[in-house]
Structures are given as C-alpha cells and as structure tokens.
Amino acid sequence: MSELGLPLVVDSSKTQGMLGLVHHQITLELQQASKTDAILVQTVILFNLIILAVNAAVASGSTGIGLYIALFLIMTIAINYLSLSALRDNRDSRLKLLGGLLDLYRDTGVDKYYDSSVIQNYSDRYSHFQKIIACLAGIAIVVPLLIAISFDE
C-alpha cells in the first residue's frame, strides 16, 4: 500500500473494469454531443428560415421598417455567430473524445477494428454544418436588405 492507502500493484481485472468504465463514459459523451449538435443545427436552420421569411415580408411592406429589420439582422448575426462558435467547440470536444477513444483502443490492442479516418469524417461533417449555417445566415441577412432596397426605389 502507498501512503495514500492505494495498492502499489494494479489488479488487471480492476484495470479492465476501469477501461470499460472509461470507454462507456466516452461513448456516452459522444452520444450526448451528437444529440446536442443535431438539435443545434436543426434549430439554427429553422431560425434562419423563419427570420428570412419574416424579414422578407416586412421588407416588402410599408416604409419606416428600417429599425425593425436592423434589430432582426443583428439578432440573426448574433445567434448564428454563437451557433457557429458552439459547433466549433463541439467539434473540438468530439475530436478530443475520439482521440482518447482511439488511444484506449490502441492501448488495449483493438485499434485495428476502428478506422481512424472516422475522426476526419467527423471534422468534415462539422465543417459542412458550419458552411450550411453560414450560407443560410447570409441569405437571411442579404435577401431582406435587397428587398428593402428594391422597394425604397
């Protein structure tokens, strides 16, 4: 026993049990991250489409709506910026978790059953999500402005 009352030699059955617990915890975190990302992406896409419709309708309406559109455009920029930041952070967390999982697999000799290119695929998927959100945000911002400009002339 060490000074802290811990065994100096680790029992291999306990090690295997701990590896199982670590694996379980990592996979739970990955599942939760996937659910969170799906909800985030769906919500932001829906938000952008609603804002696009509302701003386009308002912009084609009466005069004196500049402040209204400006507020909604600022809100659109803020929400999309936060969403893109959250996706970037989630991507980084997922890559760290997958890296840890791959290290665990390497340490236990089962890494040949896990294709490490999956990690790059996740990174690419996040990049695509970010591009989709950025494009929709751009459309939600530009289209109402163009409509408002065309009705002012």
Check pLDDT > 80 for residue 151: no
Q: What digits encode the pLDDT tens for the residues 101-149?
A: 899 889 888 888 888 888 888 889 899 999 999 999 999 888 888 887 7
CA distances (Å), origin 47, targets 27, 103, 131? 30, 39, 16
More confident: 11 or 33: 33
Supply the DSSP string of 6-35, one letter for each residue.
--SS--HHHHHHHHHHHHHHHHHHHHHHHH
- Only one residue has tokens 């910026």, namely 81
Please state the rounded mean pLDDT for residues 48-60.
82
Query: What integer pLDDT is reported at residue 15 of this predicted model?
Result: 62
More confident: 142 or 14: 142
What's the chain's average pLDDT? Answer: 82
More confident: 83 or 7: 83
* Per-residue tokens: 103: 């290290």
Please state the rounded mean pLDDT for residues 5-30.
70
